Amino acid sequence: MINPHGSADLTPLYVTDANKREALLKEAESLPKLLINSAAAANAVMLGAGYFTPLTGYMNLVDTMSVAEKMTTSDGLFWPVPCLNRTNDISSIENADRIALLDPNVDGHPIIAIQDIKSIETITGDQLHSIIEKIFGTTDKDHPGVATFFSHGKYLIAGPIQLLNYSYFDQEFPETFRTAVQIRDEIAAKGWETVVAFQTRNPMHRAHEELCKMASEAVGADGILIHMLLGKLKPGDIPADVRDAAIRKMVELYFPPDTVMVTGYGFDMLYAGPREALLHAVFRQNTGCTHLIVGRDHAGVGSYYGPFDAQAIFDTLPTDALEIDIFKADHTAWSKKLNKVVMMRDAPDHSQEDFVLLSGTKVRDMLAAGEELPEEFARPEVAHILMDFYQREAEN
């Protein structure tokens, strides 16, 4: 099986021993406390779950600037997006060397982790702009990821953590949320050697289904990991529980048995295009996948990135940056000429009119109105799950 990133073994930071975890929770009650933001909580979950192997905690300013500028930590580890804990208020922790982190996404703000503070540093305005420009390719606050990143605070709190729970993810998505450790173990148990990963924050229509099958066939995969983001999204994106139900129905009806793992991970969407695609590759390498599908406008938003920027960035990496391989995909759609789903690059004799193409707005409007989507675009069983959601939304 493919090695984890930068390590011979996964390095999950979740405290698995129940007695030790209970002792740490008791200790945490007497520690200074910090209510962290959602991004820092998601980073903690990813650290705990092994997806951020081999990191041991939140980065300091030197590593943050190095990752932003060079995509490596100060000691040379390839890493595309800083892992941060930022705040605007350090009054409760100013002189502390060990603190309890409170979860902003669960009622009552329970303790999610303990952090040893190695440094508390101030990010200047110029540094913040530079970091954002490098990660997102823009400082435009209309970009949802940029706006969120700007809001996280000027103080950077660095140091290792011990994760004490997985926030709301394992409670709200018990059938879907999986750690990198669990996925790697299941892949090993299945005896899969070559595994294709598909990243999604959206439901999967017919084109996505066929793309997974095309990629699997092209690389001779033993199985497919459909790996959905379960964390925070921008307004208008479809909630995780609806996506989960739609994807599971598609896999149940339209994939051969025991060829697909449907799982999810606890992270907030960055909408960082190329840099986020690189981070997605790190996650999937840590799960044991050998290939990641990187499609048109992967992890993008609006028109901030070119359609294939997220593929091109992989070509700029040193050969030893990542072990996972990339399956570069074009936009896929139903060809009226060929009577099947194809990648557009494989149909040079086609015009736009030769494909069944629907905009996101058109799809939403049709579903909200109770109109059936073309079967060439979406499987009817999947479309009905989405239709129920949009009709409920329209009624509220």
Q: Which of 3, 21, 98, 202 is catalytic?
A: 202
Tracing tokens 């290939």 back to the chain, one arrives at 291
169 vs 44: CA distance, rounded Å: 12
Would strands 332-335 and 291-294 be described as parallel, antiparallel, or unpaired?
Answer: unpaired
Decide: helix, strand or coil at residue 368: helix
DSSP state of 298: T
218 vs 227: CA distance, rounded Å: 19
E strand segments, 137-233: 155-163, 195-200, 223-229
Q: Which residues contact 9 (CB under 8 A, 6 or more apart)?
A: none
Residue among 92, 99, 91, 83 nearest 39 (CA): 83
The sheet that has 355-356: what strands, in order across it? 340-343, 332-335, 355-356
Residue among 32, 232, 239, 52 nearest 149 (CA): 232
202 carries an active-site annotation:
yes
Tracing tokens 């959601």 back to the chain, one arrives at 389
HSE at residue 55, side-chain half, CA atoms within 13 A, is 34
190 vs 272: CA distance, rounded Å: 33
201 carries an active-site annotation:
yes
Burial class (CB in 10 A: 0-12, 13-18, 19+), 286: buried
Q: Which of 201, 275, 284, 296 is catalytic?
A: 201
**Residue 54, preceding bond cis, omega within 30 degrees?**
yes
Contact 157, 189 (CB under 8 A): no
47 vs 123: CA distance, rounded Å: 23
73 vs 62: CA distance, rounded Å: 8
Catalytic positions, written as ranges = 201-202
